[in-house]
Structure 1
Amino acid sequence: MANACSNLTPMNLLPLMRDVDITCDKPCYDGRMAKNLLNYPCSLNSSSGFMAERFVKPPVNLVVKFPCSIRVKAIIVNNTSGSFTSDSFEILSYSLSNNMEPSKHPVYKRIGKCYNVKPGEIIFINHRYRTVGEICSTEGQSFPLASHDRTLLNNARHVMIRITHTLNGGLPVISCLQIIGSPHSKEFFKSLTPLPSKTETVNPAVESPPVVSAPRVNIPMKRRE
C-alpha cells in the first residue's frame, strides 16, 4: 500500500520542522555555526552560513537530523562564502523506519558526490522522486542522488553533507543549504512550525480614523400599471 504522505509536494524541510537539528564534527569560526544553515531564506553575504575554524581542514561532516523519516527529492548547497569555496562534497544518508529509535552509532552510506565544482549553487537530485513540480535552476550545477538501497532516499532520518575539499586550501564553508523532500509519515505534521499569523498589529496609541457611512439613497420602485 502506498504511503499516505508519498504524494505531497516536495518542500524545503529545514525551516518547517520544529525538531530538526544539525551538528558538525569540527569547531566553527566566530559564530558561523552549522545551525545557521537552518535559517531560510538565507543570506549569501560573507557573514552568514557555516564556516569552519581557521585551523580546520577537510573532511568536515555536517549532519542534519530529522524527527521522522523523509523522502529526499533534492539537496541544494551554496558552496561559497566571501573569498572561500568548498569545491568537493559527498552526500550520505542514514535510513530508519519511523517506529525505531536512531542508533547512537549510525552507519552512513553515500548517495551523492561531486568534485572540483565551480563556486555557486550545487543541486543534488533524486530522479526517482516523481512529483508534478521539478527542481529547476538555470545556473546550478546538477548531480544525481542515487543508491541501490532505496531506503537511503525514501526513509532518510539523517542526511550528512561532507565537505571533502576546498578551493586553494581555503576554509570549509557553506552559505546556504536546502533539503527538499516530503515526510514519510504523518508524524511529520506534529513537528511542523506554525506559520506566522497574518493579523496586523494594532497600535492602541494611534487612533483609528472615524468611519463615515455613505448616505442611504431611497430609490422609488416604479409601479406596474
Structure 2
Amino acid sequence: MINFCCSALNPTVVCSTVSTDGYEVTNLVSSDAEEAQKGFLAYNAIRPPVSITIHFICSVNVSHVILWPQVGYQKSTGFEIYANSAPKSKPQIYEKAAFGYLDDDETGIIFYRTVYYDQYTRSIKHLKSFAQRAIFGSTCSSLNNTRSLQIKIIKTNSSVPALAKVEVWGKPSKSCDTAVQRNIFKLWTTRIPKKESVSCGNSESQLQTVSGAEFEIPENFLDSVTCTIMTLPFILPCGKFVDQSTLDRHEQHEAMWGRAPSDPFTGRMFSENNRPIPATALKACIDKFLIDHSERPELAYVPRTVGRKQKSNIHEVSCSTVPLTDIKPTTSVGCPTENKKVTCVAVSSDVSHLRHKRQRHGSEDIAKTEVHDVESHEEKINWSLNCALESTLAGLPTYTRFSNHTAVEQCAACSGDNMLFKLPCKHFLCRKCLVSKKESKDFSCTLCKASFQSGDLLRYHV
C-alpha cells in the first residue's frame, strides 16, 4: 500500500475557500515538516461546507482514507468523500463515496473499502480512538481509477473548518503503464523518512520524538488557535488562552471587513467589561519553562521575553589577603588608614582588560589631583568620597562621544543671519547664498565642502 498524499509523489491540493495565514491547504501535502505539522485552517469568517480536492500523480485504486480533523482547539466533525475517475479529457464529475461524523471522544475518522479489509486492519493498528466507516456495494467502484479525491467538511465543533493531516492509501490502478507503476514504487521506497514523528491526536500532539527522547510541552502553554507556545498569553472572555500576536492578527482580519475587535471563538464584540485580560501567572510559568529548557532544539526558535540559561563568561571571583600598602591610591576608598591586612576582590583578566585603558587614564587624572590639607572630619569624608567616585567612574567604559564642533548661527558664506537654513553638516546658509549656489549648481557647504541636496535643508528659527 502507498500513501498517495506523500510529498514524494508530488500530489497537488486546492481548496474552495481562503485559509488562515500560515495554515494554507498546501500544508497537507508539504515536504516541510513545520508546514505539515500546522495543517489547514479556513479563514475565521468561513463556515461549512468547505471542499478540499487532492489530485494524484496517476490513477489510484483507493483502499482507505484517514483524516485527522483537529488543529489546536479547532475541530471538524463531519465529512463527505467524493471521487473522480473520469479521464482528463472529460469533465470532472465527482461521485459521492462515503460520509461520516465524529463524536467528542473520537480524534479522527477512517473511511475504508471492505474489499481491502485485511490489508486495512494491519495498517491502522497504531490508530486508536478513530471512528471507522466502511464503504459497501456499488460505491466502492467509484474509488477505482481515481484521479482526484474531494474531501468536503460539512460540520465543525463550533469552530472554523480544520484538517490537520490527510492520508489516502491505495495502489496504482491496472490501467497505468508498467513503467509508471515502477516509477511510483521507486519514489515511495526511496522517500526521505521524517526525523521527527508528528502525531495529530489531541493528547499526543504535544509529544515530539527527537534523538529517541520524548519532550512534553504542557498543553496549557499552547495557543488555543495556532497550537504554538505563547509569548504574551491573554485569557479571552470565553475562557480560552491565546497569544497577543494571534489577537493582533485576528483584529487585522476583522478590520479588513469593517468589524470591531471580537472574540475569535464566540464572535462577541469586546467591551470595557468583556475584553481579553493578560494572564500574568501563566506567563511566569511559561518563562520559567523556557529558561529551564532553553537548550532543547524544539525551543530554539520560540519567541521569548526572557533570556536563556547560560554559563557566565566571567570567571569565578577569587579572594586574597594583601597588605594595604600594596593597594594603589587610585583604588582606595575612604580615608587613609594604617597598614592593615585587608581582604580585596581580584577580578579575572577577562573583565579587567575591558577597563584597562580607562582605568589607566583615570588614575593619571586622580594622581594629578592635589590633596589639600583638610582639618574637619566632614571635609575628610567629602575628599574621600570624591576620590572614590572618580576612581570608580574612571574604570567604566563610556558610550558618549562629544563633538568639538560648535554650530555658529550665521551664514557660512556671507556671515549674515537673515533667513538661515541648516545643512546636514550643522553649518548654516542664508536664502540668498542658497539661491546663488542653486544657479551655479554647487550643492556643497562653503566651510567643510560637504555635499547636500535640496531636500536635506532645514529652516532654522532663532
What TM-score results when the alignment is normalised by the length of structure 1?
0.71
| C-alpha distance in 2 between matches for 1:84 and 1:149 | 31
Percent identity between matched residues is 22
Checking the alignment, whether the CA contact within 8 Å between 2:8 and 2:191 is kept in structure 1 is: no
Compute the RMSD of aligned alpha carbons. Answer: 2.8
Checking the alignment, whether the CA contact within 8 Å between 1:112 and 1:146 is kept in structure 2 is: no
> Unpaired runs of 5+ in structure 1?
1-9, 198-225
| C-alpha distance in 2 between matches for 1:162 and 1:55 | 17
Shift of 1:115: 2.4
Partner of residue 33, structure 1: 24
1:195 to 180, 187, 191: 191
1:129 to 116, 123, 130: 116
- 2:59 matches 1:63: no
Q: For 1:62-100, what per-residue CA distance to the aligned partner results, in whole angstroms no more than 9, with x for missing partners? A: 00101211011110001111111100000110013xxx4
Which runs of structure 2 are paired with 1:18-167 in the superposition (5 Å)? Answer: 18-39=9-30, 48-96=38-86, 100-103=87-90, 105-118=91-104, 119-129=106-116, 132=119, 134-136=122-124, 137-146=127-136, 148-167=138-157
Query: Cα–Cα, structure 1 residues 130 and 144, in superposed 2: closer, same or farther, change >3 Å?
Result: closer
Q: Name the structure where helix makes up a greater proportion of residues.
A: 2
Query: Cα–Cα, structure 1 residues 113 and 82, in superposed 2: closer, same or farther, change >3 Å?
Result: same
Q: Write the letter of the residue equivalent to 1:92.
A: Y
Q: Name the structure where strand makes up a greater proportion of residues.
A: 1
Checking the alignment, whether the CA contact within 8 Å between 1:88 and 1:117 is kept in structure 2 is: no
Give the number of aligned pairs: 182
| C-alpha distance in 2 between matches for 1:13 and 1:180 | 6
Q: Write the letter of the residue equivalent to 2:44.
A: R
| C-alpha distance in 1 between matches for 2:137 and 2:53 | 19
Shift of 1:122: 0.9
Shift of 1:128: 1.1
- 2:172 matches 1:171: no
Shift of 1:111: 0.8
Q: Write the letter of the residue equivalent to 2:70.
A: T
Choose 1 or 2 for highest CA Rg: 2
Query: Cα–Cα, structure 1 residues 74 and 149, in superposed 2: closer, same or farther, change >3 Å?
Result: closer
Partner of residue 170, structure 2: 181
Shift of 1:155: 1.1
| C-alpha distance in 2 between matches for 1:160 and 1:147 | 20
Q: Write the letter of the residue equivalent to 1:117.
A: D
Query: Cα–Cα, structure 1 residues 171 and 149, in superposed 2: closer, same or farther, change >3 Å?
Result: closer
| C-alpha distance in 2 between matches for 1:101 and 1:188 | 19
Partner of residue 201, structure 1: none
Shift of 1:144: 1.5
Q: Name the structure, 1 or 2, with higher relative contact order (CA <8 Å, separation 6+).
A: 1
